[in-house]
Amino acid sequence: MIEAQANLLDNIDARTRLAGSNKMEILLFSLGTREIFGINVFKVREVSQTPKITRTPNMPTGVEGVISLRGNIIPVIALSQFMAGNQPKLDIKNSTMIVTEFSKHTQAFLVHEVDRIIRVDWDKVRAPESMLSGSQALITALTELPDGKLVSILDVEQILSGVLGEPEIPDLPSTTVSPDAYTFFADDSMVARKEIVGVLDKLGIKYHQANNGKEAWDKLQNLAQRATHDNEPLSTKLKLILVDAEMPEMDGYVLTRHIKSDRRFEGIPVVMHSSLSSHANRAMGASVGVDAYVAKFDPVVLADTVMPYITDRG
């Protein structure tokens, strides 16, 4: 099974055709119970049996130690530790390792067993119906298999921020912009939204926000209708749109395609702000017309990316 999954992952660059299709591929796995979990395949570099782990002192909660992977030392995180009270203790010697790469970090997640890769429509992926707390807050979305079983998609960004800590937002120079100017951003990750808000606040830039692509498109259409009613181009006030790549209901690629095909948004740049920073994902963004691509969780880079669009266009 692991070998089969590794072969599937070798073909990940060919998946750029998913851009604009509003589909995603999920790697299914378990943590030792009947509950099924999933992770976006684009975050996965490889799947293998767990090698010998070197335990080191003073490691954060959930980190079993480190391994050397092709000359790089990476942390090994037991996902079951973050689902305390719900999952049995993992047998590390017989566990499976999912090596993930996103937000410029590489780490390994230990799971009980990897199942298979499935393809689902983003509009079949929904956010949890209520605000979750504790370990359940690590579930960012839910989807359903053909047999009716639910798949809990983990917010691995939230897990990583819990292990490594959230980046501090340094002092940033405030920008000189029109008091009517603003940006718009869409992201389903609470960690990412917090970072974006912190950067924009320090830059002194107003903003509107949405928690997923469908909500973003509805709000953007309302803004465009208001601008049309006021008989002025939307670009006189809306200076920049930031979109996440993976969001429930409508992903960032479809959202970007909608924006770029609507003349009311002409002249407004779209920047993809994503933890998925591989060449394949950048190619996917370019194919739908993204103007720039910036990796998540680097506040300085985000600020440097945003400021030229805000200030140069006056």
pLDDT digit string, tens, across residues 146-176: 899 999 998 877 787 777 776 677 777 767 7
What one-letter code names the amino acid at 143?
T
Instruction: Say which residues have a Cβ less than 8 Å from residue 91's Cβ, sequence separation at least 6.
Output: 112
**In this prediction, what percent of the chain has a pLDDT beyond 70?**
84
**Which pLDDT tens digit goes with each residue over 8-26?**
455 545 555 665 677 888 9
**Has residue 314 got a pLDDT over 50?**
no
What span, in angstroms and rounded, lies between the C-alpha atoms of 186 and 193? 8
Q: Is 152 helix (H, G, I), strand (E, B) or coil?
A: strand
Phi-psi region for residue 59, left (φ > 0), alpha (ψ -120 to 50) or beta?
A: beta
Given the DSSP bridges, would you call strands 270-274 and 238-243 parallel, antiparallel or unpaired?
parallel
Q: Terminus-to-terminus CA distance in the chain, angstroms?
A: 56
φ and ψ of 243, to 5 deg: -125, 140
Q: How confident is the model at residue 4 (pLDDT cuts 50, 70, 90)?
A: very low
Residue 313 confidence class, pLDDT cut points 50, 70, 90: very low
Q: What angle do CA 180, 186, 192 make, to 5 degrees?
A: 110
What is the strand order of the sheet 72-78 is part of? 44-49, 96-102, 105-111, 72-78, 63-69
Amino acid at 205: I
Q: What is the mean pLDDT of residues 65-89?
A: 80
User: Can you tell me the distance from the alpha carbon of 208 to that of 197, in angstroms, rounded to the nearest whole number?
Assistant: 10
pLDDT for the residue numbered 98: 93
Q: What's this model's pTM, rounded to 2 decimal places?
A: 0.78
Coil, helix or strand at residue 47: strand
Residue 76 phi, psi dihedral angles, 5° rounding:
-115, 120
243 vs 247: CA distance, rounded Å: 9
pLDDT in tens, 91-141: 777 889 999 887 677 889 999 999 999 988 888 888 776 544 444 567 888
Given a cut of 50, whether residue 274 has pLDDT beyond it is: yes
pLDDT-derived band at 192 (thresholds 50, 70, 90) equals confident
Asked if the model's pLDDT at residue 183 lies above 80, the reply is yes
Confidence of residue 40 (pLDDT cuts 50, 70, 90): confident
270 and 290 Cβ atoms separated by less than 8 Å: yes
